[in-house]
Amino acid sequence: MGNERSDAPMSPEEFVEPALMISGLCFSYPDTPNVLEDVNLKVMPGERVGLIGPNGAGKTTLFLQICGLLEPSAGQIVVLGKPVKNRDFRPEVGLVFQNPDDQLFCPSVRDDVAFGLQNMGLSKDEVEARVTEALSTVGCLELAERPVHHLSEGEKRMVSIADVLAMWPRLVMYDEPSANLDIRSRRRLIRLLQASKETMLIAAHDLELVLEVCNRVVLIDKGQIIVDGNPREIMGDDRLMENHGQEKPHSLVPHSHKSNNRPTCADSDSPGVIKPQARGSNPGPSPNG
């Protein structure tokens, strides 16, 4: 009777294939053992998962396995229904590298963004249209003819993101995407991530970005998943965060009007506070200077 159908309603997750399924993943570098230990992770389409954890926790290593650049020592990774194979070119899976110099290598920005598209076998017109679209999205269209090695670090970051987005990926991994970005570019990035429909994993020490963008957080330390769940609950837990080299993001710390216990104008009767002078009591500069 094994083929009998259950009358119980299926949960939505049973209809939908996970975007990412990692089971029993272990990995060691030749000279660094147990960098990842029994990692299990299921990510559904459209989820935005923040991957947080201290330096050396294994975040980048995990990304390199998911996109097939490093082969697991044990375990299995299935992305968008297909097992990951070593060095398989899969344009539907994108990685924005932590170090843009590992990603950008063509003579010009335009060539770099076009490279993956040409490998996909797209027509010249389609390649041009996608390059223009991706560079406009990240605000770097005016850099198109520049040599990549002349770009500033923040410009390189945004061009690396264009490289990946041009391929219209369905799963994107961003490794420290806000590193080196100025306030304006960081805000552009956050808006872009918030508006994106693809599934994403974002490894970041910029916890405020994770709070603004992600609906789920995975805390990883010493190659193991410590906790997986709601970003505000996890990042708001002082002890958990401190135990793993993190700090509660500033925006989750309750604020009173008295920041840093410094007296405000409302406290102006406190000792040591210089009261603003009553209107009209300050003679101001004389008309003669």
Ligand X SMILES: Nc1ncnc2c1ncn2[C@@H]1O[C@H](COP(=O)(O)OP(=O)(O)OP(=O)(O)O)[C@@H](O)[C@H]1O
Q: List all residues 6 or more positions away from 229 whose beta carbon is below 8 Å from its beta carbon.
A: 216, 217
| 7 is a site residue for ligand X (CB under 6 A) | no
- Residue 32: name its binding partner from Mg ion, ligand X, none (Cβ under 5 to 8 Å by kind): ligand X
| 103 is a site residue for Mg ion (CB under 5 A) | no
- The single residue listed with the structure tokens 């390059």 is 131
CA distance 213 to 192: 10
Exactly one of 55, 260, 270, 286 binds ligand X (CB under 6 A); which one?
55
Binding mask 13-42 for ligand X (x = CB under 6 A): ----------------x-xx--x-------
| 59 is a site residue for ligand X (CB under 6 A) | yes
Binding mask 161-180 for ligand X (x = CB under 6 A): --------------------
* C-beta closer to ligand X: residue 29 or 105: 29
| Residue 93 · residue 170 · CB < 8 Å | yes
Closest distance to Mg ion from the beta carbon of 98 (Å) = 5
CA distance 202 to 175: 6
CA distance 80 to 168: 14
Cα 123 off chain centre by:
31
CA distance 195 to 213: 9
Pick out residues in 53-92 that bind Mg ion (CB under 5 A): 59-60
For the chain, the residue count is 289
> What is the size of the binding site for Mg ion (CB under 5 A)?
3
Q: Which residues form the interface with ligand X (CB under 6 A)?
A: 29, 31-32, 35, 53, 55-61, 98
